[in-house]
Amino acid sequence: MGRSLSVVATAAATAGNNASTPPLQGQSIYGTGQYRVWAVAGTYQWTSPITGTARGRVTGAGGGGAAACKSAGTYRAGGGGGGGFAMGEFPVVAGTTYVIVVGVGGIGGSVNGTQVSAAVAGGSSTIGGYSPGVMSAAGGEAGKTATSVDVAPAAGGIGVGGTITRSGGSGGGTPAYGIPADACASGGGASGSILGTGGSGGSCGQPSYSYTSPRAAGGGAAGGISAVTDGTGNVGGGGGAYGAGRLPAGGPGLTHSLLDSSQRWPGDVLAGSGGGGIEAVSGSGIDGGSGAGGGGFWGGPTSGATVNGVGGAGGPGGGGGGAAAHSAASGSVVKGGGGGLGGGGGGAAADSLGVVVIGGTGGDGMGGIEW
């Protein structure tokens, strides 16, 4: 159900701590400081207590990550796209009811023997019931699998009807497989936000024994920041897992505003670090912090081992990390990391038979109204 909170207008007091850094548009207190947030998928109603204008915002849900496995004839799995974003003022009349729809995160794809399910796109989030129209944010596309040709990344959703609209970040790409036909999985894209377009999930590469491309890539971060691909930075981006112990850390956190908007709008501040990658028989990539992407999981250090691993989850707004296993024993389980609020799920892949592979679920969207 929706979360209902009241905010006292304390912006002036907070500004004294960092007066040289003004808030981004949408982070400052609006109107009386009252607001409501709906961050779980569903349909809600809000009855306006005022006549005048309110400020609304919507974030689309993230797309599910793809699942690829030798059992299904595929080896490369892409991450889901991040949800779009829209924000703006709209006219309200006291006593009138307005409808808020929060999109549901897309379910990740799965492969379990001969049972194969495709990933699902994220749902749209909307605010409606006012004239002249509807404010909406589309969900991200579902992640895709690759065979003998490269496949375009899953696109992020777009925002419509607001004075500020942002696109979600694309899921990581899925390159064609060749020889050797090793598994690789890409990260999910981040949702759009007032920080900007969502960052793209990291793309896994054609496996090479120089380990220059990640076998399991990290998720994207808010504000257009892509997953870490070289270990040199990318604030908030998730770190990948390359193999041979090469595991770049996730990017550091960065606060964008003098206001603690994370207490009001999840994903509006990139305050958390990106999750690092992991290479192990069992475990999880590190989860991302607020606005940040999750790290990748690579289950390839021991051939023939029973692997049980999952990509790191994205923080609010961030994409999930990919997860991949090489030469794993039958009965192993590999799961992509789930997207944070509006973030795309990470892809999951395995290159041996009998492995259960499940793509990460995209994060639910969000709706919010201030008055």
pLDDT digits (tens, 9 = 90+) for 48-97: 999 999 999 999 999 999 999 988 888 889 999 999 999 999 999 999 99
Lowest mean pLDDT among 15-24, 101-110, 182-191, 288-297: 15-24
Lowest mean pLDDT among 27-31, 146-150, 153-157, 183-187: 146-150
Q: Is 339 exposed, middle or buried (0-12, 13-18, 19+ CB in 10 A)?
A: buried
Helix (H, G, I), strand (E, B) or coil at 14: helix
Task: In whole angstroms, give the CA distance from residue 236 to residue 219.
Answer: 9
Lowest mean pLDDT among 10-19, 201-210, 328-337, 352-361: 10-19
Please say whether the beta carbons of 178 and 152 come within 8 A.
no
pLDDT tens column, 153-173: 999 999 999 899 999 999 988
DSSP label at residue 348: E
DSSP lists the bridge partners of residue 3 as 37
Which pLDDT band holds residue 277 (cuts at 50, 70, 90)? low
If you search the block for the tokens 């060749």, which residue do you land on?
178
Which pLDDT band holds residue 152 (cuts at 50, 70, 90)? confident
Tell me the two tokens of residue 294.
């999750």
CB atoms within 10 A of CB 268: 28
| Statement: residue 16 has pLDDT above 70 | no
| Statement: residue 127 has pLDDT above 70 | yes
Task: In whole angstroms, give the CA distance from residue 17 to residue 294.
Answer: 31
Which pLDDT band holds residue 259 (cuts at 50, 70, 90)? very low
The confidence score (pLDDT) of residue 6 equals: 30
If you search the block for the tokens 């689309």, which residue do you land on?
60
For every residue of 39-95, DSSP letters joined together read -SSEEEEEE-SSSEEEEEEEEPPPPPPPEEEGGGT--EEPPPPPP-EEEEEEEE-TT
Mean pLDDT over each residue of the chain, to the nearest integer: 79
Task: In whole angstroms, give the CA distance from residue 129 to residue 286.
Answer: 41
In this structure, are strands 42-47 and 97-102 parallel, antiparallel, or unpaired?
antiparallel
Higher-pLDDT residue of 201, 272: 201
| Statement: residue 260 has pLDDT above 50 | no
Task: In whole angstroms, give the CA distance from residue 80 to residue 346.
Answer: 6
pTM for the predicted model, two decimal places: 0.86
Helix (H) or strand (E) holding 99: strand 97-102
| Statement: residue 104 has pLDDT above 90 | yes
Mean pLDDT of the 37-50 span: 96
Mean pLDDT of the 295-320 span: 82
360's CB contacts (< 8 A; 6+ apart) are 64, 65, 79, 80, 108, 188, 311, 313, 320, 321, 323, 335, 336, 337, 338, 339, 344, 345, 346, 347, 348
